Amino acid sequence: MNTQTYFEDIEMLPKEDSVGMLAYCAGFIASLALTLVAYFQVVQQSITGTTLLLAVALLASVQFFIQVTCFLHLRTNKSSREMLAVFCFSLFITGILIIGSMWIMWSLNARMMPGDIEMRAYMERQTGI
Amino acid sequence: MSTLKIKEHFGHEERHKDTTTVFGFFVYLMTDLVLFASLFAVYAVLYQNTAGGPKGSDIFVLPFVLTQTLILLASSLTCGLALLCAKKGSIRGVVSLLSITLVLGGAFLFMELYEFGKFIQEGYGPHVSGFLSAYFTLVGTHGLHIFAGLLFGTILIVSLVHSGFTRGNLRKLALFTLFWHFLDLVWIFIFSFVYLGAFI
Amino acid sequence: MQEISPLYGKLSFGLLPHDPIAIGGAAFAVVCAIIILSFVTYKNLWKPLWRDWLTSVDHKKIGLMYLIVSAIILFRGIVDAFLMRAQQALSVGESYGIIDANHFQQIFSAHGTLMIFFVAMGFMSAIINLILPLQIGARDVAFPFLNSLSFWLFTAGAILVHLPLIIGDFSAAGWLAYPPLSGIAYSPTVGVDYWIWSLQIAGIGSLLSGINFLVTIIKMRAKGMTLFKMPMFTWTVLGSMLLVAFAFPILTVTLTLLSLDRTFGMHFFTADGGGNMMMYVNLIWAWGHPEVYILMLPAFGIFSEVVAVFSAKKLAGYTSMVVSVIAIVFLSFLVWLHHFFTMGAGAAVNAFFGIMTAIIAIPTGVKIFNWIFTMYRGRIRFHTPMLWFMGFVVLFTLGGVAGVVMAEPTADYQLHNTLFLVAHFHTMIVSGVLFGYFAGLTYWFPKIFGFMLDERFGRKAFWCWLNGFILAFGPLYILGLMGATRRLDHYSADMGFQPLFMVSAFGALLIGLGLYYQVRQIIFSIRHRQSLRDETGDPWDGRTLEWSTPSPVPHYNFAVLPEVEERDAFFVQKERRGRGPLQLEDEYKDIIMPKNTGAGLIISFFALCAGFAIVWHIWWLAVVGISGAIVVIIIRTFETDTHYTISGEEVYETERLWRVRYDQSKKLVL
């Protein structure tokens, strides 16, 4: 065994030698840029509300995929196929869990009776008591 | 630099065993992803429950968190470069880059503990509201993982200095890099949705 | 405010049991433990026990240990069931039965917790450990040390969950401990903490097992065994382990958050301070629903094996069976809200999950039809495993229909938390999971132990279980429709429930008789094991690879790792070259196997200490426990002497002796 081939042998790095400084540096610079763009958008508030939220979400997702491909080397080649399958399933579960929980809890919260303070304020408005 | 030949026998069985270990560790990381997803779901549901206490935009200091984020990102880069040095057979490179990774990780963790300490001192501890409980637990769990990574990395560096590029050390290096990159992946979402999200 | 001593935490002598039944329970547990420990000491078995069993990383031994622990807890769980049935049969009108309300609540909480987490999960881990590596033609699982650790974490959890018998009390908040009842305000005693930490420890063991078996199936199959050539049991285990890996982290988080609320005063699920207790229900069922499929899928896999072998026909519709497993895996993450339709979500949410629940019944239906098609025109032999299947197919279908009734949210508003629900899920778990695991254990018993189980006692046991179950739970369907709420220790006389409760109590006794026959079956079979001996390794004319080994299986599993070309690989092999062992090779290669280690046991011991310490707020012990576990783990990662070699000569000798015994047994038959 030699260190050159070890990481390819254990299916951590793809066999092509194009992986190297390029992938890591490009990934780093892209992630840096995406982080800073998101940061300054929020700080400067050039867009607001839902648009801003979507923009930040998009930037985060893109950075996620860049790091997954450049740092984790998870691609569609043969050696990563099993890890990729497990990864996609994990994303499916993660998505359902977060979005499902948010939907369910929003619905439940919306249909809760108002709390004490709100109830009293409501009654005051209605009856002047 | 020339590649380094290792004396340990590394035939087909050994290759299969190490591939299996890497795959198994990756599966574990995916279960960790679901763990963080649950914590994110809890945060998403509770972040507005401030119970008369502060909300995120009241207490988070964005430049501070940006610095933390950049430090962690840089450590992810140095970690990846450490792996490349191992490919090239440079033990010095691996040890130096891993050390830098851990120092950066330590700085990140220190900043996080400082932030937590400040909040608690000002009376915004995790027992104050649902929002704060969720925040401390989500970010704290990530911090706990970073701490585990620092422990893992330190022991790995000691082992590398002591025994060099053994099969066990190379395997542990592979697992460490997977773990460390994973933690940066999770942090992307903490940074975006917890910290930036508080100001949207 | 409770006194917390720095040395003893909340421990105090006042927390030992003080009513007759509780003292009885504690005494029984302690006496059993003393008897077992004395027996082992008397027979000088400690050294071989430690060397060959407790430190074993062999999947077959670990499987057997899971089996023993789970069987013991099955007895405890059934005692709890007897107490509940007795209480509800007697406690009507003026009479208040034999158990007070608080104790009754602890009993039903313990019953559910033990049966699901320790009996069902334990039996499942036992069977998968015993059989899966053999079925895929492997020598062991992917991570043998992790396997041992998983077992010992499971056992540590099992010990912790039984300590409330001796000191403190158990949770009275049901098997899922909903807040705010399980929060510190309404459950100030240590009961819920015991519940939380025993499940956390056992849960980590389960998660590690899930990862282990998942990787085993993906990476360690025999050469030529592609995914679509795997046996059906292997497919269902793959599905189940995917569910374990991705559902258990949710449980870990939820338990942690509840313990943070209780121990550190946080506000995840509290009534005040911005907590949202509905989130607990949401998360616990996001885990809970996949959990029931985790238990169910391997049982389905067992039935696929049993039906094919005992109908002497290959399994019908293999591809549709695989597709239904995959469908169940995906769908089981999309239905969890049906456990809390009545918590008050809007119509759209309830409708979505109601429809998904109705849809998830379909793949199971596909499976039932395929099993029936397999039987059609087969040569059916009604040995005990097949009897368990027949009982399953009838009861499970009926219970499943009850489930589809409740899948409709408006109907569920009437039936939720009634005894109808209790009857439904017991039908699913007993006739599905339990009968399935019984079928698997009776089917694979000769493979594990090398001798057959007595058929007569097996039949008696089955008929007692079947009729006992119908009598115990049939009335509960009716009671539920009559409006009987679950989990009550007393009903007023004018409800008219008592006659049905009495029938149900009688049914429980009949189930007890079934269990008795199972114990007698095992004892009888052990006594007569020489005459029940199976030297062929293949007493049922099996179809899958595990039957190609001698019984009991040698520690290396296969002398030569098999190579597979088709489905039902062993059956195909027999068709080509007849029954009986393969030709003895001239020589066999050395086999490298993983070495035994006590690290798993020691780590789990530290985990048990930490769990106990956190329950009782003994912080110094908690630190010792957690650090100890971490230190042993780190030391283990540097262990290089992890394998030993079985010489080719030893393999040759084992294989040769098997063939000699096989020929001798064949001569006896002739």
pLDDT tens by residue, C610-664: 999 999 999 999 999 999 999 999 999 999 889 999 999 999 999 999 999 999 8
Percent of chain C residues past pLDDT 70, beyond the cut: 99
Percent of chain A residues past pLDDT 90, beyond the cut: 56
Interface A-B: count of C-beta contacts within 8 A? 156
- Is the CB of residue A21 less than 8 Å away from at least one CB of chain B? yes
CB pair distance less than 8 Å for A67 and B45: no
The pLDDT score that the predictor gives to residue A18 is 55
When CB atoms are compared, the residue of A24, A42, A90 closest to B80 is A24
Rounded mean pLDDT, C483-489: 93
Chain A residues close to B75, C-beta within 8 Å: none
pLDDT at B119 over 90: yes
The pLDDT score that the predictor gives to residue B2 is 44
Chain C, nearest residue to A98 by Cα: C283
Give the residue from B184, B188, B194 with the most A CB atoms within 10 Å of its CB, the best one to mutate: B188
Cα C46 to chain centroid distance, Å, stands at 28
pLDDT at C24 over 90: no
Chain A residues close to C337, C-beta within 8 Å: 104
pLDDT at A14 over 80: no
Cα C411 to chain centroid distance, Å, stands at 31
Q: Identify the burial level of C662 via C-beta atoms within 10 angstroms of its C-beta, where 0-12 means exposed, 13-18 middle and 19 or more buried.
A: middle
Mean pLDDT score across all residues of chain C:
94
The pLDDT score that the predictor gives to residue A16 is 61
Residue B198 is given by DSSP the state H
The pLDDT score that the predictor gives to residue A102 is 96
**C572's tokens:** 């195909």
The residue type found at B39 is: L
> Helices marked H in chain A — which ranges?
3-9, 21-44, 49-70, 81-110, 116-127
How does residue A19 score in pLDDT terms, banded at 50, 70 and 90? Answer: low
DSSP C363-381: HHHHHHHHHHHHHTTS---
Residue bearing tokens 């970690």: B79
Contact A87, B30 (CB under 8 A): yes
* C292-336 pLDDT tens trace: 999 999 999 999 999 999 999 999 999 999 999 999 999 999 999
Neighbours of B110 (CB within 10 A): 12
pLDDT at C407 over 60: yes
Chain C residues close to B38, C-beta within 8 Å: 249-250, 253-254, 283, 286
Rounded mean pLDDT, C2-23: 82
ipTM confidence score: 0.96
How does residue C666 score in pLDDT terms, banded at 50, 70 and 90? Answer: confident
pLDDT at B97 over 80: yes
Euclidean distance between CA atoms C240 and C212, whole angstroms = 12
- Is the CB of residue C138 less than 8 Å away from at least one CB of chain B? no
The pLDDT score that the predictor gives to residue B3 is 53
What is the three-state SS of C97-165?
CCCCHHHHHHHHHHHHHHHHHHHHHHHHHHHHHHHHHHHCCCCCCCCHHHHHHHHHHHHHHHHHHHHHH
Neighbours of C177 (CB within 10 A): 24
The pLDDT score that the predictor gives to residue B8 is 77
Chain C, nearest residue to A103 by Cα: C349
Percent of chain B residues past pLDDT 70, beyond the cut: 98
Cα angle value C516/C519/C524 (rounded, 5°): 120
Give the residue from B25, B67, B196, B199 with the most A CB atoms within 10 Å of its CB, the best one to mutate: B196
**C430's tokens:** 């007993």
Rounded mean pLDDT, C27-42: 91
Euclidean distance between CA atoms C89 and C498, whole angstroms = 6
Residue bearing tokens 């030297």: C535
The pLDDT score that the predictor gives to residue B13 is 87
The pLDDT score that the predictor gives to residue C259 is 97
Chain A residues close to C345, C-beta within 8 Å: 104, 107-108, 111
The pLDDT score that the predictor gives to residue B1 is 39
Euclidean distance between CA atoms C117 and C162, whole angstroms = 13
How does residue C94 score in pLDDT terms, banded at 50, 70 and 90? Answer: confident
CB pair distance less than 8 Å for A108 and C345: yes
How close, in Å, is residue C243 to chain B by CA atoms?
10
Q: For residue C315, what are the contacts with CB-CB under 8 A and spacing of at least 6?
A: C232, C304, C307, C308, C321, C370, C374
Find the range with the poorest average confidence among B116-130, C169-183, C444-458, C488-502. C488-502
Cα B106 to chain centroid distance, Å, stands at 10
CB pair distance less than 8 Å for B130 and C245: no
Contact B175, B25 (CB under 8 A): yes
pLDDT at C97 over 90: no
Q: For residue C381, what are the contacts with CB-CB under 8 A and spacing of at least 6?
A: C310, C312
* C235-290 pLDDT tens trace: 999 999 999 999 999 999 999 999 999 999 999 999 889 999 999 999 999 999 99
* B5-46 pLDDT tens trace: 677 788 888 899 999 999 999 999 999 999 999 999 999 999
* B37-90 pLDDT tens trace: 999 999 999 999 998 899 999 999 999 999 999 999 999 999 999 999 998 889
Question: b vs e for C299-324, b when ≥16 Cβ sit within 10 Å of the residue's Cβ?
Answer: bbbbbbbbbbbbbebebbbbeebbeb
pLDDT at A74 over 90: no
Chain C residues close to B53, C-beta within 8 Å: 274
CB pair distance less than 8 Å for B19 and A21: no
C214 backbone dihedrals φ, ψ, rounded to 5°: -60, -50
Chain C, nearest residue to A99 by Cα: C334
How does residue C498 score in pLDDT terms, banded at 50, 70 and 90? Answer: very high
The pLDDT score that the predictor gives to residue C473 is 97
- Is the CB of residue A63 less than 8 Å away from at least one CB of chain B? yes
Chain C, nearest residue to B131 by Cα: C274
The pLDDT score that the predictor gives to residue C394 is 96
Q: What's the pTM?
A: 0.95
